[in-house]
């Protein structure tokens, strides 16, 4: 007999969700952390909090100071990218790419020209953010494709979930914590799925749309007759002028850099006049400085008072000030920028950002309860038939979900404990993250195979203790919440509040886990065995 | 082989087929729509964006459809037909 569509969907939802769930959890967890990536940057790099410029624009003199400092730091760069100050990053940050592709990052005080090396820590923007969209795997775009599979899987799982649960509205109001464990877990899984369903669809679809140039590389190239430069110019305003080979001397380079502030101010004035409101550039890109084909890009990527991620980019030939291209997206492209802007959440609205974080955490709950329901509904059956699948899935669930959370907390603790002067300190921090994650997975496997109990309780306590330790170390090292309040430094204050929330949640969950469970004799036997 | 394990293998084969086939069809659709709309006078970047949006919306539905279709020959025939139509739009001068 041919299975019905719902039976197909049930199999798909159960088994595919189980296989891909670990990947999805890491995307949701790091995505939730990335909502506050710049806040993590401040928390993890306390010295950067002290560099304060007038928010959120630079005077021509300040911009010139920054540019000259960059020239002193890297006289022969391949690419320089500035991010001008914003409320969340109250100082200019600079990323310098050398010709051998080495990358240096700095925060620069626009008043004194003092440069703080960004190598101190990768922070939120350098670690959580790339983990969210490519799992920090750069080789052959493998990370992007893994994310693509996870994103498409999420969309298909959402569709199959909706097909499966016909009483969608009823499940919104249904949670029976006093029922048996499997029933309660399914209720919680359904509830966390339905309550944020529009959020999950939006965030997954917009996430996939951002990376169209990777997943739809063939289609884009084909539609533009194989002309990559034409497709880049039309789709994102990117112009790639190859170096002429004519190298300019140091005085010519300095003269070119000193002209930039005036060009930026002129563009900002032109944008403001066109839009009828004060508009500032948020990023400046200089490519091939020193070559006569050096390009200057002035971007207004994330206007703070707008959801849409803009790609209004003006590209100049630096040495002649000639405007080569002023990229203005057309209506359909602007619509996709609005959708991707929903994903990037760079708009100036703190309450909405908190809602995004809640949505992300609900996603984590949805995935985690999915695993738990799979385990609980098979516990007795697997125990009776002596199947090993239960132990494997349980170990992967513990390592893949709680293990990742523990690794995150350990990453923050390492950030507080590793001394300032240690070489490659940022790499050490990430080593701690990956080592702890691997150890958590190994521990979970050993525990599952040897039928030890407290599979969930020990990691929960460990996560809670590490969050508490990270919070405490920040209070000792930097003065923590009191100093942050005194200096009106709300970025790091927000992370401290988040850590306290995690501690409270961890304590609550651990107390629930220690409460005696009401289970049948067979279930109890299986519970003790597994 | 028990019926359960046979079902499991068949379902996994279907899943393995659904993802790359869905992505390939979506790429074809995006390119065909972009070229078709461009020929009808739409700006190239707009036509491409619209093609991408349509392909993104179609892709998960296709994947589930490929996964749920029991008859692989019938599925292959329909996939080939769609691919052929798209190829005509893309490559026909």
Last-in-domain residue among A69, A92, A120? A120
Considering the domain architecture, whether residues A283 and A411 belong to the same structural domain is answered as: no
Last-in-domain residue among A344, A373, A404? A344
Which residue from A minimizes the CA distance to B70? A2
Q: Tell me, yes or no, whether A483 lies in a domain.
A: yes
- Chain A CB within 8 Å of residue B65 CB: no
Considering the domain architecture, whether residues A392 and A302 belong to the same structural domain is answered as: no
SS3 of residue A307 by DSSP: coil
Considering the domain architecture, whether residues A305 and A443 belong to the same structural domain is answered as: no
Q: Which residues of A touch B30 (CB under 8 A)?
A: 216, 219-220, 223
pLDDT tens for A18-28 read 889 999 999 99
Q: Tell me, yes or no, whether A201 lies in a domain.
A: no
Last-in-domain residue among A120, A135, A152? A120
> CB-CB: which of A8, A235, A332 is closest to B67?
A8
Q: Tell me, yes or no, whether A271 lies in a domain.
A: yes
Range of the domain at B86: 3-91
Considering the domain architecture, whether residues A402 and A528 belong to the same structural domain is answered as: yes
Q: Tell me, yes or no, whether A173 lies in a domain.
A: no
Q: What count of Cα atoms within 13 Å lies in the side-chain half-sphere of residue A237?
A: 23
> CB-CB: which of A9, A222, A224 is closest to B44?
A224
Amino acid A131: pLDDT: 95
Considering the domain architecture, whether residues A398 and A277 belong to the same structural domain is answered as: no
Q: Tell me, yes or no, whether A351 lies in a domain.
A: no
Considering the domain architecture, whether residues A394 and A529 belong to the same structural domain is answered as: yes
Considering the domain architecture, whether residues A336 and A423 belong to the same structural domain is answered as: no
Using the beta-carbon criterion (under 8 Å), do A231 and B48 form an inter-chain contact?
Answer: yes
Q: Read off the tokens for A27.
A: 């995307």
* Total tally of structural domains belonging to chain A: 3
Q: How many CB atoms lie within 10 A of CB A59?
A: 14
Q: Tell me, yes or no, whether A16 lies in a domain.
A: no
ipTM at complex level = 0.84
* Total tally of structural domains belonging to chain B: 1
Considering the domain architecture, whether residues A340 and A398 belong to the same structural domain is answered as: no
Range of the domain at A512: 388-530
Distance from CA of A25 to the nearest CA of B (A): 20
Q: In what order do the strands lie in the sheet with A312-317?
A: A115-117, A103-108, A93-97, A79-83, A283-287, A295-300, A312-317, A322-327
> CB-CB: which of B55, B61, B63 is closest to A216?
B55
Which helix H or strand E contains A88, and what residues bound it?
A: none
Count of A–B CB contacts within 8 Å?
A: 96
Confidence (pTM): 0.89
Distances (CA, A) of A358 to A29, A31, A36, A199: 11, 11, 12, 10
Considering the domain architecture, whether residues A510 and A413 belong to the same structural domain is answered as: yes
Using the beta-carbon criterion (under 8 Å), do B45 and A205 form an inter-chain contact?
Answer: no
Considering the domain architecture, whether residues A311 and A449 belong to the same structural domain is answered as: no
Which helix H or strand E contains A284, and what residues bound it?
A: strand A283-287
Q: Tell me, yes or no, whether A20 lies in a domain.
A: no
SS3 annotation, A139-182 = HHHHHHHHHHHHHHHHHHHHHHHHHHCCCHHHHHCCCCCCCCHH
Per-residue pLDDT of chain A (530 residues; tens, 9 = 90+): 566 778 878 888 888 888 899 999 999 999 999 999 999 999 999 888 766 555 667 888 888 899 989 888 888 888 899 888 887 888 888 999 888 888 888 888 888 888 888 778 898 999 999 999 999 998 888 999 999 999 999 999 998 888 887 777 776 677 787 777 788 888 889 889 888 999 999 999 999 999 988 899 999 999 998 898 899 888 888 888 887 777 777 788 888 888 899 999 998 888 888 877 778 888 899 988 888 888 999 987 666 677 877 767 899 998 888 888 888 888 998 899 899 999 998 887 888 899 999 999 999 999 999 999 998 888 777 777 777 788 888 888 999 999 999 999 999 999 999 998 888 899 999 999 999 999 999 999 988 877 666 788 999 999 999 999 999 999 999 988 998 888 888 889 999 999 999 999 999 999 988 876 555 555 555 555 44
Considering the domain architecture, whether residues A392 and A340 belong to the same structural domain is answered as: no
Considering the domain architecture, whether residues A257 and A322 belong to the same structural domain is answered as: yes
């Amino acid at each position: 007999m041919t299975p019905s569509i719902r039976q197909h969907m049930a199999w798909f939802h159960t088994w595919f969700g189980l296989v891909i769930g670990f990947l999805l959890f890491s995307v949701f967890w790091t995505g939730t952390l990335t909502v506050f990536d710049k806040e993590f940057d401040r928390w993890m790099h306390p010295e950067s909090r002290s560099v304060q410029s007038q928010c959120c624009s630079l005077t021509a003199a300040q911009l010139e100071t920054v540019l000259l400092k960059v020239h002193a730091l890297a006289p022969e760069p391949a690419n320089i990218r500035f991010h001008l100050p914003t409320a969340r990053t109250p100082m200019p940050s600079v990323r310098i790419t050398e010709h051998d592709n080495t990358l240096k990052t700095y925060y620069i005080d626009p008043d004194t020209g003092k440069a703080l090396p960004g190598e101190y820590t990768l922070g939120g923007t350098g670690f959580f953010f790339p983990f969210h969209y490519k799992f920090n795997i750069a080789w052959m775009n493998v990370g992007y494709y893994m994310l693509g599979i996870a994103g498409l899987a999420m969309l298909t799982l959402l569709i199959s979930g909706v097909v499966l649960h016909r009483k969608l509205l009823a499940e919104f109001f249904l949670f029976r914590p006093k029922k048996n464990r499997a029933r309660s877990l399914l209720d919680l899984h359904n509830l966390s799925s339905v309550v944020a369903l529009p959020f999950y669809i939006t965030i997954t679809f917009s996430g996939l749309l951002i990376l169209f140039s990777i997943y739809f590389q063939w289609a884009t190239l084909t539609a533009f007759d194989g002309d990559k430069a034409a497709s880049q110019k039309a789709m994102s305003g990117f112009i790639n002028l190859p170096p002429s080979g004519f190298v300019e001397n140091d005085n010519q380079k300095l003269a070119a850099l000193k002209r930039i502030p005036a060009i930026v101010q002129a563009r900002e004035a032109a944008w403001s006049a066109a839009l009828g409101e004060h508009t500032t550039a948020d990023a400046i890109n200089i490519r091939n400085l020193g070559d006569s084909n050096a390009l200057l890009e002035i971007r207004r990527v994330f206007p703070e008072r707008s959801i849409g991620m803009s790609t209004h980019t003006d590209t100049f030939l630096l040495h002649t000030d000639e405007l080569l291209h002023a990229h203005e997206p057309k209506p359909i492209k602007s619509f996709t920028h609005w959708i991707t802007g929903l994903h990037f959440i760079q708009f100036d609205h703190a309450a909405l950002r908190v809602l995004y974080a809640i949505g992300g955490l609900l996603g984590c709950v949805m995935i985690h309860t999915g695993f738990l329901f799979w385990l609980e509904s098979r516990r007795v059956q697997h125990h009776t038939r002596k199947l090993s699948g239960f132990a494997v899935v349980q170990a992967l669930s513990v390592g893949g979900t709680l293990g990742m959370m523990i690794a995150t907390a350990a990453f923050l603790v390492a950030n507080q404990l590793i001394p300032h002067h240690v070489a490659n300190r940022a790499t050490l921090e990430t080593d701690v993250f990956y080592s702890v994650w691997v150890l958590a997975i190994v521990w979970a496997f050993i525990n599952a195979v040897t039928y030890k109990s407290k599979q969930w309780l020990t990691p929960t306590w460990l996560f809670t203790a590490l969050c508490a330790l990270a919070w405490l170390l920040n209070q000792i090292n930097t003065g923590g919440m009191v100093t942050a309040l005194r200096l009106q430094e709300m970025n790091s204050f927000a992370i401290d509040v988040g850590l306290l929330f995690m501690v409270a949640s961890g304590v609550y969950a651990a107390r629930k886990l220690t409460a005696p469970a009401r289970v049948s004799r067979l279930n109890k036997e299986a519970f003790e065995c597994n | 082989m028990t019926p359960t394990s046979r079902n499991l293998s068949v379902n996994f084969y279907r899943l393995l087929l659904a993802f790359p086939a869905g992505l390939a069809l979506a790429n074809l659709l995006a390119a065909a729509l972009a070229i078709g709309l461009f020929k009808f006078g739409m700006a190239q970047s707009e036509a491409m964006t619209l093609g991408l949006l349509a392909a993104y919306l179609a892709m998960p539905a296709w994947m589930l459809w490929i996964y749920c279709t029991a008859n692989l020959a019938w599925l292959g025939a329909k996939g080939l037909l769609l691919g052929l139509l798209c190829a005509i739009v893309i490559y026909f001068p």
